[in-house]
Amino acid sequence: MDHCCSNKTEELLLLKAKQANILKIVMAINLLMFFVEFTFAWIANSTALMADSLDMLGDAIVYGFSLYVLHKSEKTRATAALLKGIIIVAFGISVLAQAGFNWSAAALPSYESMGWIGGLALLANTICFSLLYKHRDDDINMKSTWICSRNDIISNIGVLIAASLVGLTQSKWPDLLIGLMIAILFLRSAIPILIESVTQIRGKPL
């Protein structure tokens, strides 16, 4: 019996070590891409690209939370997941505000920059997604982290679609609409994370 418990403890520690390494890698990738996307979002005057850059920053913060609570109790991990959900909501609201600002601007977004940077971000997030995928069912901490990564890929595809439509129509509306859709995705994805984390914090069965 003791041997069995010892083996399970070793397996758990090994799992946590793997999770920590993956979280460090994806956090670094997201921080780097945030600075790249944020810079080009201002240059390109793109709501969709700005939304994607804020998503990158939010995810880097999320991965930092996940790394911090990796060896904490289940309740602490649930609390971190709650904070992640709140962060997602906050960034969704910030994108809505950015869309409102760009709506009144006359300048057309640079669809060339949107396309190149959106493609680079998609590549980066595909790497993150593949690293996190096999750990998505480990616990709520890793599950909420994987959901953020999944949202990233959807956002990246949205940026590429917006870039194509802006180029074809020579209108800023595709950029604004895709940016708003990304914001709505943020807000919707936060709901199950918030519900599940609050449920676990209260100690009630899911």
Residue type, position 83, single letter: L
Q: What is the pLDDT of residue 1?
A: 47
Return the sign of the alpha-carbon dihedral for residues 54, 56, 57, 63.
Answer: positive
The number of beta carbons lying within 10 Å of the beta carbon of residue 143 is 17
Give the per-residue pLDDT at 120.
94
| pLDDT tens by residue, 19-56 | 788 888 888 999 999 999 989 988 888 888 887 887 78
Question: What is the domain extent for residue 49?
Answer: 2-202
Please give the pLDDT value at position 70.
Answer: 67
Q: Is the pLDDT of residue 178 over 80?
A: yes
Q: How far apart are CA 161 and CA 53, in angstroms?
A: 16
pTM score, two decimals?
A: 0.71
Q: Which residues, 6 or more positions from 46, have their beta carbon under 8 angstroms from its beta carbon?
A: 40, 102, 109, 110, 113, 114, 159, 162, 175, 179
Structure tokens at 164: 């194509």
Residue 122 to residues 46, 76, 115, 154: CA-CA distances in angstroms? 16, 32, 10, 9
Read off the pLDDT of residues 60-102 as tens digits, 9 standing for 90 and up. 877 787 777 666 666 676 777 777 778 778 777 777 776 676 6
- CA separation for the pair 206, 186 (Å, rounded): 23
Which residue carries 């914001």 as its tokens? Answer: 183
CATH of the domain at 29: 1.20.1510
Average pLDDT over residues 176-200: 76
pLDDT of residue 5: 38
- Residue 118 to residue 163: CA distance in whole angstroms: 9
Sign of CA dihedral 57, 124, 138, 5: negative
Could you give the C-alpha distances from 164 to 77, 107, 115, in angstroms and in order?
40, 17, 7
**Domain total of the chain:** 1
